[in-house]
Chains A and B, each alone.
Chain A
Amino acid sequence: AQSVTQLGSHVSVSEGALVLLRCNYSSSVPPYLFWYVQYPNQGLQLLLKYTTGATLVKGINGFEAEFKKSETSFHLTKPSAHMSDAAEYFCAVRASGGYQKVTFGTGTKLQVIP
């Protein structure tokens, strides 16, 4: 079984401040991890993903995340928030190997304050 926990359903940051969105996962086998972003009235789009290799993953729009196996975490960061980053962010996990379904977290809404 696999699961994802996103800490904080709402996060507010000032424009230019650090963005940190937290995600912890559980998986019985090595995981594949994802962050998706959803803008209002749109579908989800992939920000970044970790499958194998380098544990620090860079994505679109200046976001990055680090896979930390010892902490079972995959937190999303961006050094400087922009107004256009206001959206809902979803962490997701899939167990590696074979065909496996993706499990999504409950989402974190990011508000950017001017």
Chain B
Amino acid sequence: NAGVTQTPKFQVLKTGQSMTLQCAQDMNHNSMYWYRQDPGMGLRLIYYSASEGTTDKGEVPNGYNVSRLNKREFSLRLESAAPSQTSVYFCASKGGASNQETQYFGPGTRLLVL
């Protein structure tokens, strides 16, 4: 099992450019999440998907869109990047009969917006 994978690992964008962060999990989990991590602020939830076909806003959704492509994949799109979106982005998934409350995190995508 690869667990939760994220691509790319690093990205530099110019203000106004768009990009999509990809996330996939091979644990057959129902729920998937996108967080951003900024110094001194912990993890803040951007969007989540409780199950395939559903998505909901988290604490900081402005400037982002998501797509739950299928049960495995949950992508995060920045339509017009801003310097305030410079951050480390983590995808996570949760589910499974034996460990329902545990979130499994990907390695993160480090994004710099100039």
Instruction: Give A residues with C-beta under 8 Å from B.
Output: 9, 32, 34, 36, 41-46, 49, 51, 90, 94, 99, 101-102, 104-107
Question: Is the pair B105, A44 in contact by a Cβ cutoff of 8 Å?
Answer: yes
Q: Which of B14-22, B39-47, B69-77, B78-86 contacts A (4 or more CB under 8 A)?
A: B39-47
The answer for the CA separation of A104 and B94 in the assembled complex, in Å, is: 15
Q: A49-B101, A51-B101 are in contact. Are A42 and B42 (CB under 8 A)?
A: no
Q: How far is the CB of B106 from chain A (nearest CB, A)?
A: 5
Q: A43-B4, A43-B108, A44-B90 are in contact. Are A102 and B40 (CB under 8 A)?
A: no
Q: Is the interface of B mostly helix, strand, loop or mixed?
A: strand
Q: Please report the total number of B residues contacting A with Cβ < 8 Å.
A: 20
- Nearest chain B residue, comparing its CB with the CB of A42: B107
Residue numbers in A under 8 Å from B58 (CB-CB):
101
Question: Is the pair A32, B101 in contact by a Cβ cutoff of 8 Å?
Answer: yes
Which chain B residues numbered 52 to 108 have a C-beta less than 8 Å away from chain A? Answer: 58, 90, 92, 101-103, 105-108
B50 contacts partner chain A, Cβ-Cβ < 8 Å = yes
Residue numbers in A under 8 Å from B92 (CB-CB):
43-44
- Nearest chain A residue, comparing its CB with the CB of B45: A101
B48 contacts partner chain A, Cβ-Cβ < 8 Å = yes
User: Which of A43, A46, A99 has the most CB atoms of chain B within a 10 A radius of its CB?
Assistant: A43
Q: A32-B101, A45-B105, A51-B101 are in contact. Are A107 and B4 (CB under 8 A)?
A: no
Give which listed residue, B4, B35, B41, B103, contacts A106 with CB less than 8 A. B41
The answer for the CA separation of A83 and B41 in the assembled complex, in Å, is: 25
Residue numbers in B under 8 Å from A105 (CB-CB):
42
